[in-house]
Amino acid sequence: MSQVRRVVVDTDTGIDDAHTLLYLAGRPDAEIAGIASVFGNCVEEDAVRNIGYVTRLLGLDVPVARGAAEPLAGAARIARYVHGRDGLGDRGYDRPLPEVTGETGAELLVRLAHERPGELDLLALGPLTNLALALRLDPELFTKYRSVVLMGGSGPYADPGTLLMIDANVNNDPAAAEAVFSAPRNRLVMVGVNVTATTILDERAIAALHAADTPRARFASEILETYLDFYQNEWGRRIIPLHDPLAAGILLDPSLATAAVDGPVNVVGDGFLSRARLMRTADGLPPSFPYKPAPDTHVITAVDAPRFVAGFVEVLTR
């Protein structure tokens, strides 16, 4: 078995976040070392209730902290139309508040890194507000994590005429994202919508989840319905992309990334949406406008989607 990665998860616990926690807990090479909640797919209170529901289902005893309920500036955008009002597809689960540490999500991220410097990986699955607040407490925080892997960003500029899914985690708090991409780090990995949109859980894979008679697979398949209702409008099929799980997969197995580019990332807006972009065109050239210098981020540009999806299904149906 490969070396166990001890992962601190920062999550706006919606449907694919819950799938990610199931996936991490089912991997023999992963250990969840702590979880912080944040707004995004649902309000923060629902996010922490969902953390509690999943950890109880899995029998996990890990420190949980309540994080940011709103972005650094402006009002929170909540994706109820994607994940349901409660974040788990409105299935009516009993979700009491879990026992929490009493510290903020940002304080948990800092404390764990200081207690075990160089031993932990930070996996960010929601808006980056907790990470930005943690950087205010310790500007060198990311140098104390072995790696920081985030599901967010849009990769390099795409070929002309190419459209991308919304970069929701960045768009929900652009100021926080800017702080994260400009911070010193050991290794910051961006797993953006440019690659997560290619990892499709198709009808056959969904049928395998439904057929597996385990609590983990039953829960994973139950919460899919609201997500499928949303994504059928993208492709005319009841299939979904595995956004957050892919980030966890790449953290545990970097060979799933078949192409990547190191370079500066800026947060850019067009008046409607904000995205985190590698400051390179599709041809590998700098953009035709000035941009802010930033430390290199490892930006994933292609993945072995079939291998990842097969592995994800195998873990959840094992």
Count other C-beta atoms under 10 Å from residue 161's C-beta: 5
Q: How far is the C-alpha of 178 from the C-alpha of 266, rounded, in Å?
A: 7
Out of 10, 12, 16, 86, pick the active-site residue: 12
H or E element that contains 123: strand 120-124
Q: pLDDT (tens digit, 9 = 90+) per residue, 37-87?
A: 999 999 999 999 999 999 999 999 999 999 999 999 999 999 999 999 999
Q: Are 58 and 85 in contact (CB under 8 A)?
A: no
SS3 31: strand
pLDDT, residue 2, reads 59
Out of 19, 83, 243, 298, pick the active-site residue: 243
> With left for phi above 0 and alpha for psi between -120 and 50, is residue 74 left, alpha or beta?
left
Q: pLDDT (tens digit, 9 = 90+) per residue, 168-196?
A: 999 999 999 999 999 999 999 999 999 99
Domains defined along the chain, listed by start: 5-317 (3.90.245.10)
| 114 assigned to active site | no
237-266 b/e with 16+ CB inside 10 Å = b?
A: eebbbbbbbbbbbbbbbeebbeebbebbbb
Structure tokens at 200: 């499709």
Q: pLDDT (tens digit, 9 = 90+) per residue, 215-261?
A: 899 999 999 999 999 999 989 999 999 999 999 999 999 999 999 99
H or E element that contains 262: strand 257-263
pLDDT higher than threshold 70 for residue 19: yes
Q: Are 130 and 12 in contact (CB under 8 A)?
A: no
pLDDT higher than threshold 70 for residue 298: yes
| 283 assigned to active site | no
Structure tokens at 229: 């209702």
Structure tokens at 268: 């850019």
pLDDT higher than threshold 60 for residue 1: no
Q: How far is the C-alpha of 240 from the C-alpha of 247, rounded, in Å?
A: 15
pLDDT higher than threshold 80 for residue 116: yes
